[in-house]
Structure 1
Amino acid sequence: MNVMKQALAIGILSTAVVSLPSVAAFAPRPLPPPPPPRNPPPPTVETGALDDTLATIIQNQGLTGVIPAAEHQPNISDPIAQLGMKLFFTKGIGGEKSVACASCHHPSLGGTDALSLAVGVNAVREDVVGPGRRPADEEINIPRNSPTVFNTGLAPRALFWDGRVERVTQTQPDGSVVTGVSTPDSGLGVIDTAVPDNLVDALSRFPVTSTEEMRGTGFPDATTTAEIRQHIASRIGDYGSEEGDLATNDWLAEFRSAFNSNESRESLITFDSVAMALSSYQQSMTFVDTDWHRYVRGDKAALNDAQKRGAVLFFTPQNQGGAGCVGCHSGERFTNDGFFNLAFPQLGPGKEADHSDKGRGLVSNVPRDQFAFKVPSLINVALTAPYGHAGAYRNLPEVVRHYTNPPASVDAFFARGGACSLRQFSRFTDCESLNQNAIENSEEALRLLGQSPFQPARLNQEQQQDLVAFLESLTDHCAKDKTCISQFIPSNQQTNPDNLRLNATDGRGNPL
């Protein structure tokens, strides 16, 4: 890994000069070829044989192509989900009225923002979403990649990269067992009695309290998260300390219609009802109609041969010549909902003074959780680039390559400039600041990975391409269709209760 520091410096300098003498002498070492598989890979087979192999795999894995929980999520046409959509897109719930939930989680961008690291309250142009969203003074102060909000309603255990919102079970003194959700407000493993037993509802309560994400300098007298949320509810409800804070405020009519209630604004518009609506909307974005699931249900034409070969590799253990991905990405949702350190490159401000981000370890304080992050579902993964907790990998081929040789992939990342090689930061005048301690932190994550049960997948280039093809088959048909996804975005024909709707555009001003 010593080569990383030398290669990083050269990668950065090469962006500032036309040429350098004897660059070849300092060129980063090439990625070594993958070692030969311990067992020969499955031979090339005809389509019929692939189908037979996959039929056995599907049976052994107990797959049906159906996710029962998906049938029980709210529908986007439900009144409360419609209210939640309007709340999700209003900048009125941001402390400075400059950022909406959709600023970092837009349906047109796979439920995320297409950035390596999110840009919250300090965006130069607040309605720009996606790669053109730039922070004022090039200041990146959010340390993580925005996870998708698609299919959050299907997660049974935890949300956020570090699982800090988590379903827990507690045994009471009388021997009874209760379940609930622990949050940063209650502490790890302790049920937060202020939230319902709904992970998405609980999740919806925290971005608005983050100074970097949505709060900014708003509500300066608030000293607790509960007080921040009360200010937001009062602003939306037009009562109390925030009465008149919105120049236009028609939210009471929206809440009364959605909840079919004539309660007073103080009783009806609380942060509980705001979170319920936001949760309903996010849960309505359940997108699981993929070619793979259609194939499992019997449509053998849903996948092409490359995708079928990739599926065989995905589900086949490494000691049988496969990639063994199913060890963590299992079941109909392609995740075991656990946490694992894969030593994806560290970059950016991080969560600690040394710019590291130890992920789950910061929540649990358990040594084995250092640098571990939530194992994501792979459904719709093709829509959510860049990848990793800090968005270090630009595309799926880079992700798959990491699994074949993590040290070499991390080397390659820093050889091309680390953070400076990423689209989001390539024009920053001081992108090198985002690499501060990044090599050292990445080396530590790799050291811990070497002590784990992880084994690199022994895949040649063609097999890696097949695996990527399979991952692309995990994309929902509506999620990738602009017309279909538009029903999850407020239209100009719908009411705009506070005239603060995020009218998202790309960096060139084109509507998303």
Structure 2
Amino acid sequence: MKIFVILVIFMSMTCKLALGASATDEKLRHYIKQFRFKAVEPMNDKNDQIYELGEKLFFDNRLSGNNNISCATCHHPDLASADALPLSIGEGAQGLGKERIVTDSLQIIPRNSPDLFNKGHEDITRLFWDGRVSFDPDTWEYETPEEALNGEAPQREDITSVLDGALSAQALFPLLSHEEMRGKKGDNPIADAKTNLEAWQLITEKILENNEYKTLFAKAFNHPEQYNIGHIGRALAEFIRYRFQVTQTPWDKYIRGDDTAMTESQKLGAIVFVERGRCILCHNGAHLTNESFQNIAAPQIGPGKDIFNNDEGRFLITGRAKDKYMFKVPPLRNVAKTAPYFHSGVYTTLEQVIEHYEKGVNALDDYDQMMINNLYRTNYVENLFVETNQYRLFRKKEGAHPAMQARAIRLNPDERSYLLEFLKFGLTEN
């Protein structure tokens, strides 16, 4: 009799657990349908010849003016396609990742190096933190810092006709940055070029001086008579697109129908993501980004974009006052691997990111300015600037997202733990 009672109790507990899991699945699948969450589907039309060329270019210092930095320096595969630093350290410095050290304070790049995961997907149409490169797949028009590439009838259609989306256009612009790859004026002919187009032409000629590259270009594009910077951008994009695509996270597998792909905690975290966390306001769609620009009251560190070390984000591109301090909402696949976070790289853990959102605009006042400097003083040699000017902090708060102003995100310890499980493991491809 005692054994029978124990068995009944055990079966009852098992049924309750199963019912709980089923209820969680039912609720989460309702949200997936309601908010049109989608899995990121694998891209399978890789051009092996263009990929091979792009891979070689990606790791080649010869793309830089002084032959001392490559795309991989700030976007290394071993560093989750970024550099593991709050702010990137540009050309002329030494080392890689957390071992990279400035030799000149001018080498510090104003913004965090974005990861490259799924950036080559056709759904991603805006790139850079300020969105200064975009592509309209309906009209096949580009918007970039170089007018000759823009609009319905671009002056350099010979370049844009080779490109195949936002990523291939974006890949062209780090080459033009004196701090990132080009070098200081007086250092080399590329740095001294008077226009972007002239600099691009010099880079193309420099690469094609190499016989191995001549062969790779001919194999990739099959018309060896006339190459331009567009072919370099196209090849880099092909490599990035397929090398860094992420399509097999537990979240993707769950959306495709596998109820066992995520743990119960991860599923509950996804529900917190939608409900109490309010992440869904900006992080939605297949890539968990709506590609909008938002002011989330992110602390400002480093050289910034003006003489006051300030960085007004999207405003610097559009000139619209409402865009001040707005930055592009990033996708979230593999987010656990891509610290530090935000445009200024001010947080090193997802726990800190969640705490920032819970504090709302008050996070600006509470930011521990020694946290970053204690961790990265070796890299930057001296302390990074941290914005404490009350007027600029007030203006940033004034334009912040309503949820940040209202401190609308408040989680209990269980909700916080579940959300972290979803972000750290549910969205990570192993």
Mapped to 1, the partners of 2:231 and 2:346 lie a distance apart of: 37
Which of 413, 417, 421 is matched with 1:465 structurally?
417
Amino acid in the other structure paired with 1:235: K
Say whether residues 1:164 and 2:132 are aligned partners: yes
**Cα deviation code 1:81-124 (max 9, x no counterpart):** 1110100100011000000001001122121111100011031x
- Aligned-pair CA distance for 1:417: 1.8
Mapped to 2, the partners of 1:442 and 1:399 lie a distance apart of: 19
- Aligned-pair CA distance for 1:235: 0.6
- Aligned-pair CA distance for 1:346: 0.6
Structure 1 stretch 442-451 or stretch 101-110: which is displaced more? 442-451
Which of 371, 396, 414 is matched with 1:445 structurally?
396
Which of 291, 294, 319 is matched with 2:250 structurally?
291
1:311 aligned partner: 270
Amino acid in the other structure paired with 1:212: E
- Aligned pairs for 1:126-275 within 5 A: 128-154=95-121, 155-168=123-136, 178-186=139-147, 190=151, 192-194=154-156, 195=160, 196=163, 198-216=165-183, 217-219=187-189, 220-238=191-209, 249-261=211-223, 263-264=224-225, 267=226, 269-275=227-233
Alpha-carbon RMSD across the aligned residues, in angstroms, is 2.6
Contact 2:335 2:428 in 1 (8 A): no
Percent identity of paired positions between Structure 1 and Structure 2: 33
Mapped to 2, the partners of 1:430 and 1:277 lie a distance apart of: 38
TM-score (norm 1): 0.72
Q: Which has the higher helix share?
A: 2
Amino acid in the other structure paired with 1:464: R
1:114 aligned partner: 84
Contact 1:381 1:472 in 2 (8 A): yes
Mapped to 1, the partners of 2:231 and 2:148 lie a distance apart of: 23
2:35 aligned partner: 61
- Aligned-pair CA distance for 1:475: 3.7
Mapped to 2, the partners of 1:275 and 1:391 lie a distance apart of: 27
Mapped to 1, the partners of 2:404 and 2:341 lie a distance apart of: 22
Which SS does the other structure have where 1:84 is aligned? helix
1:78 aligned partner: 48
- Aligned-pair CA distance for 1:280: 1.1
- Aligned-pair CA distance for 1:443: 4.0
Mapped to 1, the partners of 2:177 and 2:35 lie a distance apart of: 41
**Cα deviation code 1:349-403 (max 9, x no counterpart):** 1011211111101111112110000011111111110000010011111111111
Amino acid in the other structure paired with 2:256: R
- Aligned-pair CA distance for 1:476: 4.6
Mapped to 2, the partners of 1:151 and 1:283 lie a distance apart of: 7
Which of 75, 89, 96 is matched with 2:59 structurally?
89
2:9 aligned partner: none
Matched residue count: 399
Distance 1:397 1:438, change over 3 A: farther
Which SS does the other structure have where 2:241 is aligned? helix
Mapped to 2, the partners of 1:438 and 1:282 lie a distance apart of: 39
Amino acid in the other structure paired with 2:96: V
Contact 1:403 1:457 in 2 (8 A): yes
**Cα deviation code 1:455-482 (max 9, x no counterpart):** 43111232112111111234453xx4xx
Mapped to 2, the partners of 1:449 and 1:110 lie a distance apart of: 29
Amino acid in the other structure paired with 1:226: L
Contact 1:145 1:391 in 2 (8 A): yes
* Aligned structure 1 segments of 4 or more residues deviating by more than 6 angstroms: 450-453
Mapped to 2, the partners of 1:90 and 1:430 lie a distance apart of: 30
Structure 2, unmatched stretches of 5+, are: 1-18
Mapped to 1, the partners of 2:145 and 2:399 lie a distance apart of: 26
Structure 1, unmatched stretches of 5+, are: 1-44, 170-176, 239-247, 317-321, 481-512
Contact 1:168 1:189 in 2 (8 A): no
